[in-house]
Structure 1
Amino acid sequence: MKVARFYAPGDVRLEEAPEPQAGPGEVKIRVRNCSTCGTDVKIHRHGHHHISPPRVIGHEIAGEVVEAGDGVSGWEAGDRVQVIAAIPCGECPDCRRGWMTICPNQESMGYQYEGGFAEYMVVPAKVLAVDGLNRIPEGVGFDEASVAEPLACALNAQEFAGVGKGDTVVVVGAGPIGCMHVRLARARGAEKVFLVELNRGRLDMSANAVHPDAAICGAEVDAVQEVLDLTEGRGVDVVITAAASGKAQEDALRMVARRGRISFFGGLPKDKPTITLDSNVVHYREITIYGANGSSPDHNKRALELIASGAVPVSDLITHRMPLDDVLTAIETVASGTAIKVTIEP
């Protein structure tokens, strides 16, 4: 079978590999879609400290069961499934308290385990142990199901930050995850949602898809002032920084209203992880700042339900579909910002 395997930064190879077999507690699937994201770009360019090469990458995975290993029940050939990306241990104190997104023993598909840029792959026993192999609801395509993983991450962030009825929300970053944040905020009852992006082309493309109440190009106007003008100087209830930008995080503190909430959704580059934050603004205006780290198995299940119900459509966000042979082109397309979501169909 064909796979895309990471060897070193700048060295991802398409190559032939033996078809894997399901061991005890495992399930083998035929990968139907594995979508790409900015993390794949970072891995390709810089590697990742959790990846021990060579490794088949790809972590937004949907497919169909081929066989179940010894000791596995409830799964049969032909079952349509989505696979979690982040795998909590399920046993540590944090997991036992229901905080699976911050499990200190977390592993991931495409990092410690072979990922989805392959024709076939094995779902590890650890995924099944935490109920992380999910049935795809009827009417949901494999391509849509593969996008449930990033939507699950957005769901984790918005639940944690309490996005809800009547809120005014700013999403900073008009990539695929920013688009999902706009739609999810609406589904959760937000009254108004604004989208901020530096790249005019990307902003227009995404705004035409998800129709925010205002689309603000930060390269052309003062985004903070625009948000304040739109809210009559009050600021917004929630700011979600869906971009790897320290300035976006700093600007969030200037956009948010009193008693507002900020979600630092996008992590910062490892070589520049700090920002300047006026602690007195947080103190006197009673601002709450939340982190957001991936998703739990339950978030993935509920993301699939949101897609199936139509509450958060994702099909139209998939702007490019490519075969596995074009995986490097797909990764570069993601990096260029000319697509919303790119999916691989092995």
Structure 2
Amino acid sequence: MKVARFYAPGDIRIEEAPEPTPGPDELKIKVHNCSTCGTDLKIFRFGHHHIDPPRVIGHEIAGEVVEVGSNVDGWTTGDRVQVIAAIPCGECPDCKRGWMTICPNQVSMGYHFDGGFAEYMIVPHAVLKVDGLNRIPDGLSYAEASVAEPFACVLNGQELAGVGSGDTVVVVGAGPIGCLHVRLARARGAESVYLVELSKQRLEMAAALVKPDAAICAAPMLDPASRSSADLDPVEEVLRLTDGRGVDVVITAAAAGKAQEDGLKMAARRGRISFFGGLPKDNPIIACDSNLVHYRELTIVGANGSSPAHNKKALELIATGAVPVEDLITHRMPLDGVLDAINTVASGEAIKVTIEP
């Protein structure tokens, strides 16, 4: 079979490999779709401290069961399934309290286990143990099901931020995660959703799909006096749109410290700011105006991945049409096009790129 293996930063190879055989506590699936994300780009450029190469990467996985281990119950060949990416242990104090997203023993598909950039792969016992293999609802494509994993992370973030009926929401970052945040906020009853993005091209592409109530291009300006209506200070524009009040929820779906700093300034009294996108490990410190937090009674929340339960709920929301994702998949490529897919993600020309082995 064909696989895409990571060997070192800048070195991903399309190779032939023997088909894997599942152990008694495992399943084997034929991968139909494994979608790409910004993390794959980071791995390609910099590697990852949890990856001991060579490793088959890819963690947004949907496929078909083709072989079932002798000790595995409840699954049969032909079952259509989606696989969680982040795998909690299910046994530590945090997991037992229901906090599986922050399990200190968490491992991941495509990092600790071979992932989905392959024609076939093994679903390890660690996934099955925590109920992390999910049936794809009838009528939902494999490609759509593969988006359930990043969408599950979005769901976790909005639950933690308490996005709900009547809220005014700002989403900073118009990549696939930002687009999912816009759609989920609407599905959760938000009154208005604004989308902020540095890249005009990406903003226009995303706004055409998810149709935010306002699309704000926050491109840096060399000459503020000559700025156009498309080049706005995002804080000023958000305050203008809300008559100076600010918004109830800010979601920073971008790996930028400035986005987090601006988020504090955009928030209304009793506002919630979700630091959804992590910052580079060599520059994780931001300037936080503590008095804004103090006097406005702001809440800042983090968001780290998703739980198995979030993946199940994400599949349900996609399948019912509450949060459609099919139109966000702008590019489909074969397995030997993984490098092209990663380059397309890097270029900003796509919303979501999926690999179809």
**TM bucket by the smaller chain?**
over 0.9
Paired amino acid for 1:201: Q
2 CA distance for matches of 1:221 and 1:166?
Answer: 25
- Indicate the residue corresponding to 1:185 in structure 2: 185
Cα distance, 1:205 vs structure 2: 0.1
- Indicate the residue corresponding to 1:20 in structure 2: 20
- Indicate the residue corresponding to 1:278 in structure 2: 289
The correspondence of residues 1-346 of structure 1 with structure 2, limited to 5 A, is 1-219=1-219, 220-346=231-357
Structure 1: state its 5+ residue gaps.
Answer: none
Provide the secondary structure at the position in 2 that maps to 1:50: coil
2 CA distance for matches of 1:325 and 1:18?
Answer: 17
Paired amino acid for 1:341: K
1 CA distance for matches of 2:235 and 2:344?
Answer: 30
1 CA distance for matches of 2:24 and 2:259?
Answer: 47
Cα distance, 1:91 vs structure 2: 0.2
Cα distance, 1:24 vs structure 2: 1.6
Cα distance, 1:131 vs structure 2: 0.1
1 CA distance for matches of 2:98 and 2:70?
Answer: 29
Cα distance, 1:176 vs structure 2: 0.3
Cα distance, 1:271 vs structure 2: 1.0
1 CA distance for matches of 2:70 and 2:103?
Answer: 28
Map Cα deviations across residues 134-171 of structure 1 (whole Å, 9 max, x no partner): 00001100000000000000000000110000000000
2 CA distance for matches of 1:283 and 1:92?
Answer: 34
1 CA distance for matches of 2:138 and 2:166?
Answer: 32
2 CA distance for matches of 1:139 and 1:196?
Answer: 33
Cα distance, 1:280 vs structure 2: 1.2
Provide the secondary structure at the position in 1 that maps to 2:281: coil
Provide the secondary structure at the position in 2 that maps to 1:155: helix
Paired amino acid for 1:230: L
Provide the secondary structure at the position in 2 that maps to 1:224: helix
Q: How many residues align?
A: 346
TM-score by length of 2: 0.97
TM-score by length of 1: 1.00
Provide the secondary structure at the position in 1 that maps to 2:332: strand
Provide the secondary structure at the position in 2 that maps to 1:150: helix
**Cα RMSD after superposing both structures:** 0.4
Paired amino acid for 1:245: A
User: What is the identity percentage for the equivalent residue pairs of Structure 1 and Structure 2?
Assistant: 79
Cα distance, 1:70 vs structure 2: 1.7
Runs (4+) off by over 6 Å: none
Map Cα deviations across residues 14-67 of structure 1 (whole Å, 9 max, x no partner): 001110011021010000000000000000000000000000000000000001
1 CA distance for matches of 2:114 and 2:161?
Answer: 33
Paired amino acid for 1:329: D
Cα distance, 1:338 vs structure 2: 0.5
Paired amino acid for 1:264: F
2 CA distance for matches of 1:73 and 1:36?
Answer: 30
Structure 2: state its 5+ residue gaps.
Answer: 220-230
Greater shift in the superposed pair: 110-119 or 277-286: 277-286
Provide the secondary structure at the position in 2 that maps to 1:233: coil
2 CA distance for matches of 1:275 and 1:53?
Answer: 33
2 CA distance for matches of 1:143 and 1:215?
Answer: 27
Provide the secondary structure at the position in 2 that maps to 1:289: strand
Paired amino acid for 1:58: G
